[in-house]
Amino acid sequence: MPEGQLCSCYSKPQIILCLQQNNMKKEEAMAAFMAWKSEKKKYIKEIRTKQKLEEKKNLEELQDIACRKQDCRKAFEKWKESKEDHLKEKAFKEKNLEMEKKLKEQNMISEKKSNSMTAFKTW
C-alpha cells in the first residue's frame, strides 16, 4: 500500500475522522511544544537575568575590595612616612642631646682646668 493511503477497509467518513483526529493530535502536540518552548525561554531569560545580577554584584564587590586595598595602602604609606619623620626627629634630638652633653663636659673640663690653674697660681 502506498504511503499516505489508509486501508480500504475503512469508510470515507471514518478515514476523514481519523485524519481530523491525527491533525488535532498534531496541533495539540505542536501547541504543547510551543508552550513548553515559551516556558523554557522565560526560564532561560530569568536565569540570565539572575546571572547578570550576580556578575554585577561580584564586580561591585571586587571593586569595593580593590578600593579598600588602595585605601589601606595609602594609610600604610602615610603611617610609614610619619614613622620615618618621627625617627628622623628622634635621631636629630639625640644628636643635639649628645652635642649638649659634650659641650657641658668640655665646659666642666675647661672650668676644672681654670680652677686648677687658679689654685696652682695662688699656691
Per-residue pLDDT tens over the stretch 62-98: 999 999 999 999 999 999 999 999 999 999 999 999 9
Per-residue pLDDT tens over the stretch 31-74: 999 999 999 999 999 999 999 999 999 999 999 999 999 999 99
**Residue showing cell 554585577:** 56
1 neighbors 7 (Cβ within 8 angstroms): yes
Please calculate the CA angle 10-15-17 and round it to the nearest 5 degrees.
130
The pTM of the full predicted model, rounded to 2 decimals, is 0.49
Domains in the chain: boundaries: 16-112
What 8-state DSSP symbol labels residue 10? Answer: S
